[in-house]
Amino acid sequence: MNVDTIRSVYFIGAGGIGMSALERYFLSKGKVVAGYDRTPSELTEQLMREGALLHFEENTDLIPEACKDPATTLVVYTPAIPPTHRELTYFREHGFELHKRAQVLGVITRSDRGLCVAGTHGKTTTSTMAAHLLYESHVGCTAFLGGISQNYGTNLLLSTRSDLVVIEADEFDRSFHHLTPYMAVITATDPDHLDVYGTKEAYLESFRHFTTLIRPDGCLIIHEGLEMHPDVAEGVTVYTYSREHGDFHAENIRIGGGDITFDFVSPRGTVRDISLGVPVSINIDNSIAAMALAQLNGATDEELRNGMASYRGVERRFDFKIRTPERAFLTDYAHHPAELRQSALSIRELYKGKKLTALFQPHLYTRTRDFYADFAESLSLFDEVILTDIYPAREAPIEGVTSRLIYDRLAPGVKKTLCRKEEVPDIIRTKRPEVLVLLGAGDLDRYVPQLCDILNEPC
């Protein structure tokens, strides 16, 4: 694939957050960008306003003429698309060059210096933090992100003053094996995607293989205490990090009054009084990894301090919609038991003594089947849990796998409700939670504006 010679790019699964960053990249290069997605969304509407030609019906007649020449069209598809998809079949049968998103990212970044952030959880926040720190510094960077940055309103940053490219490295379908990192971060390796990997051991092996891909002149920044063992090439420097230990860590942590401040300790010295722009305790770990990546690539102490204070977060990652002395409502993309646990602990630390309510939509039948007991244990850290039906995404139902598997195993002291998602607004209107967090990677976020209106109503 030669990015410079193609004239048009067609995306199958165009509404995905990762795919949309590539669409914006190719639009910035003056290419014809078109594609299909199953469902229109706010993101697809924005992409269409930016120039993408998208449709939402599986129909080869809707493919633009500009995308029907195999010699000048690149086709990019997401692994979530079934192999029987009509448009995918059309392109395959007519000799088009087809690539997964990660393969295209690998080609784009191979000649640049890729800063790749991987991990079961924390990778979107950490990569967005690192991108913000570098983009706002004298260093600069391009970035392909897995979420919409609140600072920039997009998931793509472009820079002509740097060959650094920040990438969220996704382990689903072993996508991150297509990358050649200059530097890599691994935030966590709690088993996930067992529908792809089969076993915990295979999942960990996938991360080990990812570390073998790091360039010999690069480095690995890995969270302390992970089960997997890196296997880096000779010449690669390995650093550890965590909240309180490792080559990079925090000291003098101060939490209170809605703020989190600490001193950042690294092999290059101490940067005092780092203030988190999004003050939840899990972001201490995330910010340490992000600052390590930025510092190793030339960001100054003052740039680190200013960048972290001005960081505004990622949509659906500890994203506050209401934050008053009387009430709080936030959304968090957490959809793995370990993420739910961290979310609960972080919010509890921020709102000591207040009643915490979780509104959770499980994501995928296979993930629910594999981890329902762990989900129940993590959700039991909340005072009240409202559970909706499973969001299927790419999957067909599995007999006997429903949200009730989680519901029935919640701790005895937890107040709980099981409902259809359509019932959520009325339930929230009745309960009017003091602190409400909407959790999951499904489509409950469509109710956010309505829930904000309900929670802002006079009592």
Distance (Å) of CA 163 to CA 134, 158, 173, 336, 457: 12, 10, 27, 34, 50
As a whole number of angstroms, the distance between CA 41 and CA 120 comes to 26
As a whole number of angstroms, the distance between CA 301 and CA 96 comes to 49
First CA to last CA distance, the chain: 60
As a whole number of angstroms, the distance between CA 394 and CA 195 comes to 12
Residue 252: strand pairing partners: none
pLDDT, tens digit only, all 459 positions of the chain: 666 778 999 999 998 888 898 999 899 889 999 999 988 888 899 999 999 999 999 999 999 999 999 999 999 998 778 889 999 999 999 999 899 888 888 887 777 899 999 998 888 999 999 999 999 999 999 999 888 898 998 889 998 889 999 999 988 778 889 899 999 999 998 877 666 777 888 889 999 999 999 999 999 999 999 988 899 999 999 999 999 999 999 999 998 766 899 999 999 999 999 999 988 888 999 999 999 999 999 999 999 999 999 999 888 777 889 988 888 999 988 888 988 998 898 888 878 888 999 999 999 899 899 999 999 999 999 999 999 999 988 788 999 999 999 999 999 999 999 999 999 999 999 999 999 999 998 888 889 999 999 998 765
Instruction: Return all residues near 287 (Cβ < 8 A) that are at least 6 apart.
Output: 129, 264, 274, 276, 308, 311
- DSSP secondary structure code for residue 300 in this structure: -
DSSP H helices in 111-236: 123-136, 194-197, 200-212
Q: Using CA atoms in the order 292, 295, 297, 300, what is the torsion angle rounded to 10 degrees?
A: 160
Residue 239 near residue 273 (C-beta atoms within 8 A): no
The per-residue DSSP string of 352-401 comes to TTS-EEEEE--B-HHHHHHHHHHHHHHHTTSSEEEE-PPB-TT----TT-
What pLDDT is stored for residue 262 in this prediction?
97
Residue 363 near residue 442 (C-beta atoms within 8 A): yes
User: Which of 319, 278, 297, 17 lies closest to 145 in space, CA to CA?
Assistant: 17
Number of Cβ within a 10 Å radius of residue 383: 18
If you count them, how many residues does the chain have?
A: 459
Number of Cβ within a 10 Å radius of residue 454: 18
144 residue type, one letter: F
User: Which of 296, 266, 433 lies closest to 359 in space, CA to CA?
Assistant: 433
What pTM was estimated for this model as a whole?
A: 0.75
